[in-house]
Amino acid sequence: CRNEGLHVMKGAFVTFADSDDWNHPMRIQRAVEQMDKRSLDVVLGRYVRMSPNGEVQFNGGRLSRFSLVTMMLRTSMLKRHGFEFDGRARYSADSELFERLRIVLGPERILRHQMLDLVALHHSESLTGGGRQAIGWTGPGPDRLRYVAGYRRSHGTLLQTNNSVPAMIAFPAPSSLVLHPSPGPEAMRLRRAYGLVEKDTTIDPEPSEATDQITVFMATYPGGFDHVAKAVRSLLQQSLSIGQLVLHVNGTRRPPQLPKDPRLVVHLSEENHADNGKFVHMAGTKGYILTVDDDIRYPHDYVERMVAEVEAHQRTAFVGVHGASLPYGPPFSRWSQYTSMRRSHVFALEHGGRTTVDVIGTGTMAFHSDIGLPDAKHMDTLRMVDLHVAVWAAKHGAPMHMVPRPRDWLVEFEAPDEQRIWQQTKQDKELQHQMIDVLRRVSTWNRPGVGPYTLQHGPLSFLASWTNREIPPAMELASLQSWPPVQDHPLVTIYIPAYNVEEYIEEAVDSALAQTYENIEICVHNDGSTDGTMAVLKRRYRRHPKINVGHAPNSGISGASNQAIRAGSGELVLQLDGDDVLEPNAVEVLVEAIRHGHVCAYGNFRRIDPEGTLIDEGWEEPHYSRERLLRSMIVHHPRLFRRDAWEAVGGHDENLTNAVDYDLFLKLSEVGTMHHVRQTLYSYRILETSTSRAKSAQQTSNTHRVVQAALERQGLNNFALHVQNPDYPRRFVFVDNRFVTDESQ
C-alpha cells in the first residue's frame, strides 16, 4: 500500500499515517521545517501506544519509542536511490527501510527528535496488537524477530561491500526460510566450535483438528464458591464442546448454583488437596486435558484455541497462557532469587509468540495424554501445584510453551488480594521455603540452548555441571576435601564454655545429660567466672561419669572453647553455651545428618528470655550455601562438627574476642560441606551480658575482619568488603578494588 503511494507521489516530501492513529497537528510542519533548515532526508519523532479505553500501554518495556510509521522522507532522495518498502512483508517493513536508509545516507542526513508525533491505537485487530505479529509488553513476537534477523544479515553485507545498489532487497521474505537460513562457512565454524546442534522444531503451522475427547479439571473450595459456577458455565459454553468437566471440591458441601449439565462431574473430598485436586481424578484420562481455575472467566474460544495450540506442538508439549521462565542452571537456593530472577508471562497481557517457559500456571494449561499424566500422589505439598507439574515436565522432557493471545483474553473475577495464592505466598515464609524445595528437585533448569539450537559440547557445556548459582561456574576451592563417613554410634563431645552463668549452667548441663543419644561426654570449662558458676558445677557434677569440669583463669570465649574441646575425645563435637538449652533429640538428629561426609550439621533455634519464656522461633536460611555464609552467619545453633576437621583448620582463633564461631565455621566451610536440618533443636537465651551482645561495635569489626580473612584464604586478594549503608554495618557487598575508585565508593 505504501509503495503504491510512492509511485504516485508528486510532493517534495512524503510521509505516512495509519487509519486508527492520532497524528500531532504540528507533526508535518515541524518535520518539513527541520528538513529544509538542516538539509535532512529523513525526520521522525516519538510515539506512544494507547488502548481503546485511553490507557497508555508500555511498548516493549518502554513508554515511548521512535515512530517509524511517521517518517518524513525527501522525495528526490527516494527517487535518486530507488528506495521502496519490502512489498513482501506484512510487518516490520518500515523498520527494514529505515535501517537501509541509515546505512546508505549516514546519520548526518537523519534526525530523530524527542517530540511526540503520534498516539498509536493498540487493539487486538491490528498487526501490532494481536497474534504472532504482535508487539507486546515483552517486545516483538517471533515472526517479527525472524524477519528482522533476515534483513539484518543482508544489511550487514551492504555495510561490508559498500553496495552501490542499496535499494535492492536481497534477503528472504518473511517465511520459514528466515527461521532456518542456510549457514555460511563462518557460521558453520562457529556452530561447531560451540557445539550447537539444530533443534527439531515441533511447531505445525496448520495444526490438525481436534479428534479426541476433551476433559477439563478444576479444583475449588468454599472460599471460591462465589465465582466457581460462573467459571464452570464459561467452560460448558465453548465454541469447541468439551466432553467432561471434573470439579474437585475441597470440602463436603457442593458449590451453589452449579449448572445442571451431564458433562459436569463433582467430587466432594473431606481431605484438603488444594489445587492439587485438579490432578487427583486424572489417572486414566485419554485425549486433550485442560486444567483451569475457579476464579477466571474463560472466553468463548478458549478451549478451541488451547486445543489448537496442543496440536500445533504435535501433542508433545504443555501449553499455557500464564507462566514463568527460570534462568538456565542450578535451582534457586533462596526465595529472593526466585522473585528477582524468574521471568513472568502474565496472562492478562498480550503475548505474540510461543515462548518456551519452565513453569505454566495450571489455571491456564492444556496438553494431550500422549505425553503422560502428572501424578497427584507425588505432589506432597499444597498451594504450589504449578511447580510440581513443572518438575514433572522437566524430569520427563516435556517442553512448555506460551500461547499467543491478545491483551485481556482471560479475565479474573474480582476477589480480595488475600485470597490470591501469590499474595499468600509473599506473606508465608514456610510456603516460600517449600516452593524452593520443590524447585530443587530438578538439578538443572532449562535444556542448554541458544535460539533454535541445542548446546551439545564445546567451551560453554561446562554450564551443565554448574551446581551453585551464587558463584561463577568454574570456581571451586582447592581446599575442599572429601571426608570419610562417620563410624556407627560415634562418641560425641558436648563442650560448654562457661563464664558467669551461675543461674543457667545447671539447666544447660542437664539438657545435655537428657539426650536420647547415649554415647556422649560433656566437657565444661569454667573460664574464670567471678560468680558461683564453679561452685554449682562442683556441687552437682563433680563425680558424674560423663562430665569433665575444667577451670582456668579467664582467657575469653576462644580459649575456653579450645580447652573444653581438647578435654574430650569424641569423634564429633557439639557446641552448647552455658546459658542455653538443648532439645533432648538434638544430638541424635545431628549425628544422623552429619554421617555421610559432611564436616558440620546444624539445626534451628528458638529465642528465650532470661526466665525461659519464648520470645520467637528464631530465624533460618533454609538451604546451606558457603557463599551465603560468607555474607551472613547462617550456621545456627546447635552445631555438630567433626573433630578432625576442627583440628585441620586450627581450632578456634584465640586472637578474637568475638565473631569466634563465625570465623570457625567459615574455615570449616572451606574444607568440607555442611548440612542444615530444618528442625528446632536449641533454645538460645537472650541476655544483655552475653559476649556477642555486650560488645556490638567490636562484634561488627571482628565480623568484617573474619570475612576479609576468608576472602584472602580463598585467593580473592583483590576483593574487599564494602558497607554501603553505615547504619547497617553488617550488610555488606564485595568489590574488586581494581575497578573501584575513591569516588565510586
What are the tens digits of pLDDT across the range 658-703? Answer: 889 999 999 999 999 999 999 999 999 998 765 445 467 788 888 8
Q: Which helix (H) or strand (E) holds 135?
A: strand 135-136
Which residues, in sequence order, are CB contacts of 404 under 8 Å at separation 6+?
A: 131, 132, 134, 141, 351, 352, 353, 354
pLDDT of residue 138: 46
Please check the confidence at residue 301 and state whether its pLDDT lies above 70. Answer: yes
Please check the confidence at residue 460 and state whether its pLDDT lies above 60. Answer: no
Kindly report, residue by residue over 496-535, the tens digit of the pLDDT: 999 999 999 999 999 999 999 999 999 999 999 999 999 9
User: Best-predicted range by mean pLDDT among 14-28, 240-254, 395-409, 699-713?
Assistant: 240-254
In one-letter notation, the amino acid at residue 240 is L
Q: Specify if 357 maps to a domain.
A: yes
Residues 627 and 690 in one domain: yes
Which residues, in sequence order, are CB contacts of 618 under 8 Å at separation 6+?
A: 604, 605, 606, 607, 636, 680, 684
Torsion angle in degrees (nearest 10) through CA of 437, 442, 448, 453: -120
Residues 415 and 500 in one domain: no
Strands 547-552 and 572-575: unpaired
Is residue 113 within 8 Å of 61, Cβ to Cβ? no
Handedness of CA 665, 670, 673, 678 (dihedral sign): positive
Handedness of CA 443, 430, 364, 122 (dihedral sign): negative
**pLDDT above 90 as % of the chain:** 48
- Name the band, by pLDDT with cuts 50, 70 and 90, for residue 374: very high
Residues 318 and 256 in one domain: yes
Please check the confidence at residue 646 and state whether its pLDDT lies above 90. Answer: yes
Question: Mean pLDDT, to the nearest integer, of 135-162?
Answer: 64
Domain harbouring 565, CATH code: 3.90.550.10
Is residue 463 within 8 Å of 328, Cβ to Cβ? yes
Residues 564 and 583 in one domain: yes
Please check the confidence at residue 245 and state whether its pLDDT lies above 70. Answer: yes
Please check the confidence at residue 169 and state whether its pLDDT lies above 50. Answer: yes
Q: Which of 38-42, 141-145, 343-347, 719-723 has the lowest mean pLDDT?
A: 141-145
Peptide bond into 638 cis (omega under 30): yes
Residue 532, class by beta-carbon neighbours within 10 Å (0-12 exposed, 13-18 middle, 19+ buried)? middle
- Name the band, by pLDDT with cuts 50, 70 and 90, for residue 474: very low
Domain count, the chain: 4
Measured from the Cβ of residue 164, the count of other Cβ atoms closer than 10 Å reads: 7
pLDDT of residue 137: 44
Please check the confidence at residue 484 and state whether its pLDDT lies above 70. Answer: yes
Q: Which of 38-47, 64-73, 552-561, 579-588 has the lowest mean pLDDT?
A: 64-73
- Name the band, by pLDDT with cuts 50, 70 and 90, for residue 744: very low
pLDDT of residue 510: 96
Q: Specify if 451 maps to a domain.
A: no
pLDDT of residue 63: 53
Last residue of a domain, one of 179, 201, 236: 179
CA–CA separation, 220 vs 256, rounded Å?
A: 12
Exposure string of 696-722, with b = 16+ CB inside 10 Å and e = fewer, is eeebeebbbbbbeebbeebeeeebbbe
CA–CA separation, 391 vs 147, rounded Å?
A: 34
Please check the confidence at residue 640 and state whether its pLDDT lies above 90. Answer: yes
Question: Mean pLDDT, to the nearest integer, of 339-349?
Answer: 80
pLDDT of residue 551: 92
CA–CA separation, 214 vs 234, rounded Å?
A: 15
Q: Which of 282-291, 312-321, 617-626 has the lowest mean pLDDT?
A: 617-626
Residues 699 and 736 in one domain: no
**Local structure of 205: helix, strand or coil:** coil
Residues 381 and 500 in one domain: no
pLDDT of residue 408: 82
Handedness of CA 562, 563, 564, 566 (dihedral sign): positive
Cα 306 to chain centroid, rounded:
26
Q: Which helix (H) or strand (E) holds 80?
A: helix 75-81
- Name the band, by pLDDT with cuts 50, 70 and 90, for residue 184: low
Q: Which of 113-117, 241-245, 428-432 has the lowest mean pLDDT?
A: 428-432
Domain of residue 725, residue span: 715-745
Q: Specify if 476 maps to a domain.
A: no
CA–CA separation, 109 vs 687, rounded Å?
A: 75
Q: Which of 17-21, 255-259, 504-508, 694-698 has the lowest mean pLDDT?
A: 694-698
Q: Specify if 197 maps to a domain.
A: no
Q: Which three cell numbers stand for residue 40?
A: 535532512
Residue 614, class by beta-carbon neighbours within 10 Å (0-12 exposed, 13-18 middle, 19+ buried)? exposed
Strands 492-498 and 572-575: parallel
Determine if residue 395 is left, alpha or beta; phi over 0 gives left, psi from -120 to 50 gives alpha, anything else beta: alpha
- Name 631's bridge partners: none
Tell which wins on pLDDT, 440 or 194.
440
Residues 265 and 356 in one domain: yes
Is residue 663 within 8 Å of 619, Cβ to Cβ? no
pLDDT of residue 69: 84
pLDDT of residue 61: 42
Handedness of CA 442, 443, 447, 449 (dihedral sign): positive
Tell which wins on pLDDT, 709 or 175.
709
**pLDDT above 70 as % of the chain:** 81
Determine if residue 187 is left, alpha or beta; phi over 0 gives left, psi from -120 to 50 gives alpha, anything else beta: alpha
CA–CA separation, 306 vs 19, rounded Å?
A: 32
Please check the confidence at residue 126 and state whether its pLDDT lies above 90. Answer: no
Which residues, in sequence order, are CB contacts of 192 under 8 Å at separation 6+?
A: none
In one-letter notation, the amino acid at residue 443 is S
Please check the confidence at residue 449 and state whether its pLDDT lies above 50. Answer: no
Put simply, whether the predicted model's pTM sits higher than 0.85 gets the answer no
Residues 651 and 706 in one domain: yes
Kindly report, residue by residue over 395-405, the tens digit of the pLDDT: 998 999 999 88
3-state secondary structure 494-561: EEEEECCCCCCHHHHHHHHHCCCCCCEEEEEEEECCCCCHHHHHHHHHCCCCCEEEEEECCCHHHHHH
**Local structure of 25: helix, strand or coil:** coil
- Name the band, by pLDDT with cuts 50, 70 and 90, for residue 60: very low
Tell which wins on pLDDT, 129 or 196.
196
For the chain, how many residues are written? 745
Measured from the Cβ of residue 439, the count of other Cβ atoms closer than 10 Å reads: 24
Tell which wins on pLDDT, 18 or 515.
515
pLDDT of residue 259: 95
Question: In the predicted model, what is the mean pLDDT of the chain?
Answer: 84
Tell which wins on pLDDT, 160 or 643.
643
Residues 71 and 93 in one domain: yes
Closest C-alpha to 216, from 112, 400, 365, 414: 365
Please check the confidence at residue 363 and state whether its pLDDT lies above 90. Answer: yes
Kindly report, residue by residue over 419-445, the tens digit of the pLDDT: 566 677 777 888 888 888 899 898 888
φ, ψ dihedrals at 629, nearest 5°: -60, -30
Q: Which of 17-31, 181-195, 210-224, 698-712 has the lowest mean pLDDT?
A: 181-195
The CA-based diameter of the chain, rounded to the nearest angstrom, is 113
pLDDT of residue 178: 40
- Name the band, by pLDDT with cuts 50, 70 and 90, for residue 450: very low
pLDDT of residue 695: 65
Residues 135 and 223 in one domain: no
pLDDT of residue 236: 97
Residues 697 and 723 in one domain: no
Q: Specify if 310 maps to a domain.
A: yes
Q: Specify if 464 maps to a domain.
A: no
Cα 119 to chain centroid, rounded:
36
CA–CA separation, 134 vs 126, rounded Å?
A: 8
- Name the band, by pLDDT with cuts 50, 70 and 90, for residue 538: very high
The CA–CA distances, whole Å, from 484 to 519, 552, 590, 642 equal 20, 35, 17, 11
3-state secondary structure 441-465: CCCCECCCEECCEEECCCCCHHHHH
- Rg of the chain over Cα atoms, rounded to whole angstroms, equals 34
φ, ψ dihedrals at 370, nearest 5°: -60, -30
- Name the band, by pLDDT with cuts 50, 70 and 90, for residue 745: very low
pLDDT of residue 740: 60
Helices and strands in the chain: count of H runs, count of E runs:
23, 36
pLDDT of residue 57: 61
CA–CA separation, 715 vs 718, rounded Å?
A: 8
Which residues, in sequence order, are CB contacts of 581 under 8 Å at separation 6+?
A: 507, 508, 511, 608, 612, 682, 683, 685
- Give one DSSP letter per residue of 556-587, joined into a string: HHHHHHHHHHHT---SEEEE--TT-EE-TTHH
Kindly report, residue by residue over 69-95, the tens digit of the pLDDT: 889 999 999 998 888 888 777 677 888
Tell which wins on pLDDT, 607 or 432.
607
Residues 672 and 636 in one domain: yes
CA–CA separation, 402 vs 351, rounded Å?
A: 8
Please check the confidence at residue 148 and state whether its pLDDT lies above 90. Answer: no
In the DSSP assignment, the letter for residue 406 is -
- Name the band, by pLDDT with cuts 50, 70 and 90, for residue 203: low
pLDDT of residue 395: 92
pLDDT of residue 204: 57
Cα 704 to chain centroid, rounded:
30
Last residue of a domain, one of 420, 439, 458: 439
Please check the confidence at residue 172 and state whether its pLDDT lies above 60. Answer: no
In the DSSP assignment, the letter for residue 597 is T
Domain harbouring 430, CATH code: 3.90.550.60
Q: Specify if 205 maps to a domain.
A: no
Q: Which helix (H) or strand (E) holds 343?
A: strand 343-345
Please check the confidence at residue 179 and state whether its pLDDT lies above 50. Answer: no
Q: Specify if 207 maps to a domain.
A: no
